[in-house]
Structure 1
Amino acid sequence: MSGTVPALLDNGAKREWYNAQEFSELDLVGIPNTKRNINALASREDWQSTTLARKRSGRGGGWEYHIDLLPEPARKALGARFNIERLNAVVNVVQTNAPAKTKVALADADGAQRRAAEARKQILQMLEQLVMRGMAYDKAVCDLAVKVKVLLSQEVLTPDENQLLELVRTAKDKGTGISRRAIYNWRKAFKECGFAGLIPGKRKQDALNASRYEWAPGFLKFYADPRKPTVALALDQYRASLIEPTHAPSYDQVKRYLTKLKKADPIAAYKGREGVLALKARKVYVSRSTEGLEPTDIYTGDGKTFDAFVAHPFSGNPMRPEITSILDVATRKCVGYSIGLNEKAYDVSEALRNASMSNGVAAIFYVDNGKGYKNQLLDEAAVGMLARLGTHKEHSIAYNSQARGVIERFNGSVYTRLAKTLPSYTGTDLDREAALKLHKTIKKDLKEKGGSDLLISWNGFLKIFDSALQYYNERPHSGLAEMRDPITGRKRRMSPNECWAQFEANDFQAVRLCQEDADDLSRPAVRRKVTRGLVTIETNRYFALELERYDHREVMVCYDMLDAHQVWVRELDYVEGVETPGALICTAKFEGNSQAYFPKPVIDTAREKKAKTATKRLENRLRRVEQEQRPGYLMEHSGEQPMEVFASAPGFEASTDADLVSVVMEPPARTENVVHLADPIEAPKPQPITRSGRPVFKSKEELAVWVLDNPEKMTDLDKKILSDCMTNRTYLDLFEALGIDTDSLRTLLRAAA
């Protein structure tokens, strides 16, 4: 035997004529399996003398015999094989003879319909295999139906029996069992339409029409709430609002309605429960292409609060720095950054200046609508940094952070990743129990040691931060083009630095700032009017003789945030109707004013203002505490002298009415034990000394002052009391407001620990 099985189909129809060689290759039941023996069988039964034998046309000649000459077992086996081969035939071949409506049904079939059709096809194949073994088709169908019915009533099944039941459940459009009529219908449908005939019809969809769900609009008024009430709560509220509560739907009806609504219109299902940003994340989007862009064409920036605690550079307390990053859109490279306490205009301008110095000046600066990007420091037509750089600023649409996905993804993949490597990570996805443990441990360490090992130092943070940015710029980026790795020879994505280098290799040159321009841009500028040779920045006044001829004219004043001894004054010129910075007039020196003998930098002024505000807030808080504990004027009473009953108080028995009036109407004399709410807060003064040589302290502030003056006399109880104060924000603010040196006190407590 050649091992090749002849085809049983001829242009999609059943083949009925075979020669002796093909009969032998079919290896059917009841006939020989060699060509020689087949020819001997034909000679014995004289097949060639009948009308079911014919001369083979074509080269080689020979005889072909009709399948009706075969014995009954052989004919049944050949018929079963024909059905199996038809089942396994390509769907497209069978589909060509199917009606047009069947093609549409096949194309529109969903996943569940296709799975049902595949299961039905497997069941038909199982039956044909039984027929090949000599079983009649009707008996095979009856046995299968009975077997399924028996298995459904059993509790313990074998893996094969479970698989059979699962196949039947998938094949059935509804119900659990299987009937002879269903199998015969599948067989007939397959013969007529092929695989498409086995696809079950779609169930009629339950339309969300207003007539059936009249209660839906009223229920959604309570359910579509940003507080996200549960279905049960919203249903109770809706039921309470009805005149006839019995007209309200049941809980299951509402659940089914919401399930259908989420499939039909997801936006309508969540509208009201979610805001604009959350709903936009459910809608389709259009991705932006960077094709045709070059480096420095578009810079995008954003601020990110670091998701881990870092030791404050001055106080050592835990804080979360605010990072402002600048990215080049074409290459995804981080070209500049700044780190501050929040996203202020100074931080944004510093990040933009660093980017312009190291990588080039941007043509467009694409940012959100935050206060850090909408201010005079950046936007002023003549003195703003963007105007001096020649950069055009574009704001994204409000509530559309997806439009700046480049910088949003960068914040998550770089800064969040870096924060999760630190033990002080405090992101929103941190386990609640772990977050509580972290805060307690840091607080305990600060109380006992004045610092915590969980907090990375400021210099250490700057070091790992710089390393993280270098790693990002050197790492392949999925948003960039592919290249072949020079070392491994494999294809991979470019890194931001490689993409930038490729542009430079193609004769791209960025417009970078020289050192002189960079120094000028590092100084924020404001518009000021000259008055008798003076210009004013905050509370500082600057004078120069060259400004005399610019009296009552506006000029551009540049200042250094860290050095306030001088400012740089420029003219304001008009070029083609646009106000631009002009030539340098002079360098005005600090002249002094009535408020300070030494100039105060802008940052120092801001810190002083912050401290005054904190002091005022603390004084108000102390007043509220005193009002709660001592309403009005409260006379302090000593427990050593019990108060006598009013009726037996001496002196009142013989008092006249005039004496009583004078006692009631005249205000009490001012004593040391009376608390007056209007008295200003004064620095604590030492109290009388006790027999042990220690003063009597009325407050913890007095104890702190005395311990700083007498550190050798500090006891363990003093150390515990003051350690608690150093971890309490209220007492720290109070100590600073009263002029107590908290740094020296903290050092003293650490040394005594």
Structure 2
Amino acid sequence: MRNWYTAQELAGLAGMPGTERGVKKAAERLGWEGQRRLGSSRAIEYSFAVLPPETQAALLAASVNVEEAEVATASVPKVIERDVISSSRLLDSQRDVMTARLAFVREIERMSQVVSQQRAIMTLVGLARDGQLSPYLAARVERANDRKTADRSLSERTLKRWLADYRKHGEAGLAPARRKADLSVPEWAADFLRCYQRPTKPAVERAYAEFCTKYRGNTPSIHQVRRFLDKLSPEARERGRYSAQELKAFQPFRRRTTKNLLPGDVYTADGHKFDSEVINPHTGKPHRPEITTVLDVATRRVLGVSIGEAENAIDVMFALRDAIQRGGMFALFYVDNGSGFANEAVREVVDRLGGEMVHALPYNSQARGLIERAHQTIWVAAAKKLTSYIGADMDKHAGTKVHRISRQQLRDQGHTRLIPTMAEFMAAAEIEIEDYNNKPHRALAKIRDTETGRMRHMSPNEAWEAARATGWEPMLAPPELVNDLMRPQVVRRTVRGEITWDGNRYFLNELRHIHGEDVRIAYDVRDASRIWVRTMDGELIGEALLDGNASDYMPLNRIEKARGRRAQGQLKRGIDKLETLTGARVELVASTTAPNANLEPAQLEQAQHYAELAMERQAAEFEVPGDAMARYDLWQQLDARQRAGETLSLDEASWHASYPRHIDFKSIQRMYDFAAEQARA
């Protein structure tokens, strides 16, 4: 809006002549206040205040109907000056209404610089009623009203209310109030949740059906029940349907970072029940071994592994010993509260090594996500490579078939190729660990691959070596100390130099002086031939040997002589019986190893050479390979030797005759026959 207008600008408006000359004459006749326009010597401008009311209204309307871009440009600086923090918390729908109302507030402020606020408001109301607003403002009338009624025009009261809200609260005051959800709890909610929040996880329909049979009040519809459940948070809705441990999947958590750790700062360990069957070497029956894994947190490197039948302190200590021998000493040993870790034997070893054992909170497996993820990556993936996999992902019918065939083979043959032996499993476990330690890990930093030139994550072994390149070195313990610490200790009483432990007797001559006293013995679960005896103060006395004071009941030479005399007597009595029965003299001829005099020297030498070769073959231990292809190749070699006329040993001949009935032999032979047919074709 301007305060001064020329005759040319006023010509043709309401209450004004249609020509510039007529406007000038009217101004002279009515004595309008005027002034020369700056930069012009002849043009006269007339004040807005002296113009007729209808002319002023026309000028106001013309000023409202400006271009949309001009209005937007003029309002940008004032938008930035207002309260942005409050409006940033609004919903998109609230922000749209606020922006539409702000456009009218800006227009009133602009027009109020020339006319009164009341006249500016009435001008906008009249233009809106007549449909003469600019396209920019006309497009915002309906959105600014924020009503679903048919009448969405502007009113004086509405514009004044928007002005008051804007001046009191800023831009946020123009936004409509947010509709709040009804968070009241209906009276039937507790009764329904008792039917719904159960570990069996019943569906809403089944819980609602049970609820209707028990509830005595005004029963809600199932739609009301569903709307009530939608208002609850996942944690509140699923409480009772999940255990305390599983319910944490719906709760926020704290993400731990390992960027500031060095190798050896924290070791973490956990046991994992293998998801595939392995032949137990002690019983010969299938079982699922327990694998204890020790992981370095900083580099994700697997340092120690122990395989046993169940989680126990012995397997934990062996895994920890391997980790210390490979990676050195640790500062923290982060484990759970399982029986293999929460015991005095493991805690004593950790304390003597100078470390600290930290137990995770109960039902908080998320805190040990590193070792749980390693189990999935290493052992679950390894179990799925075996035919004897019995995890949740195994096909039900295939698993049943493998179980039936493997048990039948164990009953009939004593072995099966569907289930690996413990030796085969341990060899495969070493390969899996090596592959894991050499594979890029996404939790580690990125480096540029020297072969491809691309960026990739470091592997655990590379992260370990990268730490050593910065000057860090592992603190290795002497092997003697590690072996001594890893031996469990128990208290036993000495009796005349002997100690009884685990059903065995151990003897040490130095114990003769402490008869009847308690001592501490350390034992190795893998070697029962000796124990290490210490005083109760920890001083080493010596090694007590298994049956160290045992000797034969009688000297061997006397026993051998007695056996010879007994054999001679039995032989003499047998000859006497034969002579009595036959009536003839019976003589015994001793066997001789002298060469036959009828053989020529060359024949005798050849016979001796053949006998030596035969004796070497008979003496050599015959072993059947563990690999199916190697067994088939061995049978082919034995078959070729037999066709050439060579004599096989008893073990070789027996196995050569029985192996063609094995399923591996038939399948491999069919494979070779099919390959031969393809080659001929």
Structure 2 SS opposite 1:299: strand
* Cα displacement string for residues 567-608 of structure 1 (whole angstroms, at most 9, x for unaligned residues): 2222332xxxxxxx4324233333599xxxxxxxxxxxxxxx
1:534-683 correspondence runs (5 A): 534-573=498-537, 581-590=538-547
- Specify the code of the residue in structure 2 equivalent to 1:590: D
Aligned residue number for residue 226 of structure 2? 255
Counterpart Cα distance in 1 of 2:508 and 2:44: 120
Query: Contact 1:141 / 1:183 at 8 angstroms: preserved in 2?
Result: no
Counterpart Cα distance in 1 of 2:159 and 2:408: 81
Aligned residue number for residue 217 of structure 1? 190
CA shift at 1:336, angstroms?
Answer: 1.4
Match of 2:91 among 97, 101, 110: 110
Counterpart Cα distance in 2 of 1:17 and 1:486: 78
Q: Aligned residue pairs: how many?
A: 506
> For the aligned residues, what is the CA RMSD?
5.7
- 2:324 aligned with 1:356: yes
* Cα displacement string for residues 443-499 of structure 1 (whole angstroms, at most 9, x for unaligned residues): 354367667776566556545543443344344545445667677787765543344
CA shift at 1:409, angstroms?
Answer: 2.7
Query: Contact 2:165 / 2:174 at 8 angstroms: preserved in 1?
Result: no
Counterpart Cα distance in 2 of 1:442 and 1:456: 13
1:267-306 correspondence runs (5 A): 267-290=235-258, 293-306=261-274
Query: Contact 1:208 / 1:261 at 8 angstroms: preserved in 2?
Result: no
CA shift at 1:511, angstroms?
Answer: 2.4
- Specify the code of the residue in structure 1 equivalent to 2:231: K
* Cα displacement string for residues 492-515 of structure 1 (whole angstroms, at most 9, x for unaligned residues): 655433443344334433222333
Structure 2 SS opposite 1:366: strand
CA shift at 1:220, angstroms?
Answer: 2.7
Counterpart Cα distance in 1 of 2:220 and 2:198: 19
Query: Contact 2:65 / 2:134 at 8 angstroms: preserved in 1?
Result: no
Q: Report the more deviating stretch, 399-408 or 584-593.
A: 584-593
Counterpart Cα distance in 2 of 1:414 and 1:115: 54
Q: Report the more deviating stretch, 275-284 or 476-485.
A: 476-485
* Cα displacement string for residues 655-677 of structure 1 (whole angstroms, at most 9, x for unaligned residues): xxxxxxxxxxxxxxxxxxxxxxx
Cα 1:394–1:196 shift into 2, 3 Å = closer
Cα 1:479–1:169 shift into 2, 3 Å = farther
- Specify the code of the residue in structure 2 equivalent to 1:327: L
Counterpart Cα distance in 2 of 1:231 and 1:216: 13
Cα 1:171–1:351 shift into 2, 3 Å = farther
Query: Contact 2:387 / 2:402 at 8 angstroms: preserved in 1?
Result: no
Query: Contact 1:223 / 1:231 at 8 angstroms: preserved in 2?
Result: yes
Aligned residue number for residue 182 of structure 2? 206
Query: Contact 2:101 / 2:162 at 8 angstroms: preserved in 1?
Result: no
* Cα displacement string for residues 226-281 of structure 1 (whole angstroms, at most 9, x for unaligned residues): 22233344344444444xx242333222222222122xxx4333322222112333
Query: Contact 1:307 / 1:320 at 8 angstroms: preserved in 2?
Result: yes
CA shift at 1:296, angstroms?
Answer: 2.1
Name stretches of at least 5 consecutive residues in structure 1 with no aligned partner. Answer: 1-13, 19-41, 69-74, 123-134, 145-163, 574-580, 594-745
* Cα displacement string for residues 698-730 of structure 1 (whole angstroms, at most 9, x for unaligned residues): xxxxxxxxxxxxxxxxxxxxxxxxxxxxxxxxx
Query: Contact 1:570 / 1:586 at 8 angstroms: preserved in 2?
Result: no
Match of 2:204 among 226, 231, 241: 231
Name stretches of at least 5 consecutive residues in structure 2 with no aligned partner. Answer: 6-19, 25-32, 49-59, 104-126, 551-657, 667-681
Q: Report the more deviating stretch, 443-452 or 519-528.
A: 443-452
Cα 1:119–1:572 shift into 2, 3 Å = farther
CA shift at 1:341, angstroms?
Answer: 3.0
1:671-710 correspondence runs (5 A): none
- 2:366 aligned with 1:402: yes
Counterpart Cα distance in 1 of 2:235 and 2:130: 53
Query: Contact 1:566 / 1:590 at 8 angstroms: preserved in 2?
Result: no
Structure 2 SS opposite 1:412: helix
Bigger CA radius of gyration: 2
Counterpart Cα distance in 1 of 2:70 and 2:76: 12
Structure 1 SS opposite 2:526: coil
Counterpart Cα distance in 2 of 1:307 and 1:170: 62
- Specify the code of the residue in structure 2 equivalent to 1:214: E
Q: Report the more deviating stretch, 506-515 or 530-539.
A: 506-515
CA shift at 1:363, angstroms?
Answer: 2.9
Cα 1:388–1:533 shift into 2, 3 Å = farther
1:363-442 correspondence runs (5 A): 363-379=331-347, 384-420=348-384, 425-428=389-392, 430=393, 435-442=395-402
Structure 2 SS opposite 1:255: helix
CA shift at 1:371, angstroms?
Answer: 1.1
Match of 1:96 among 55, 62, 81: 81
Structure 1 SS opposite 2:198: coil
Counterpart Cα distance in 1 of 2:387 and 2:491: 47
> If the length of structure 1 is used for normalisation, what is the TM-score?
0.54
Counterpart Cα distance in 2 of 1:422 and 1:88: 71
Query: Contact 2:199 / 2:241 at 8 angstroms: preserved in 1?
Result: yes
Seq. identity, %: 34
Aligned residue number for residue 513 of structure 1? 477
CA shift at 1:389, angstroms?
Answer: 3.1
Counterpart Cα distance in 1 of 2:395 and 2:44: 86
CA shift at 1:219, angstroms?
Answer: 2.9
Cα 1:203–1:299 shift into 2, 3 Å = same
Query: Contact 1:324 / 1:351 at 8 angstroms: preserved in 2?
Result: yes
Query: Contact 2:279 / 2:287 at 8 angstroms: preserved in 1?
Result: yes
- Specify the code of the residue in structure 1 equivalent to 2:188: W
- Specify the code of the residue in structure 2 equivalent to 1:295: P
Q: Report the more deviating stretch, 335-344 or 511-520.
A: 511-520
CA shift at 1:223, angstroms?
Answer: 2.8
Query: Contact 2:507 / 2:549 at 8 angstroms: preserved in 1?
Result: no
Cα 1:260–1:140 shift into 2, 3 Å = farther
Counterpart Cα distance in 2 of 1:460 and 1:328: 26
Counterpart Cα distance in 2 of 1:241 and 1:530: 71
Structure 2 SS opposite 1:572: coil
Counterpart Cα distance in 2 of 1:301 and 1:418: 19
CA shift at 1:356, angstroms?
Answer: 0.8
> If the length of structure 2 is used for normalisation, what is the TM-score?
0.58
- Specify the code of the residue in structure 1 equivalent to 2:370: V
Query: Contact 1:307 / 1:425 at 8 angstroms: preserved in 2?
Result: yes
Structure 2 SS opposite 1:326: strand
Cα 1:255–1:474 shift into 2, 3 Å = same
CA shift at 1:366, angstroms?
Answer: 1.6
Aligned residue number for residue 152 of structure 1? none
1:20-59 correspondence runs (5 A): 54-55=37-38
CA shift at 1:442, angstroms?
Answer: 1.2
Cα 1:532–1:413 shift into 2, 3 Å = same
Query: Contact 1:258 / 1:269 at 8 angstroms: preserved in 2?
Result: yes
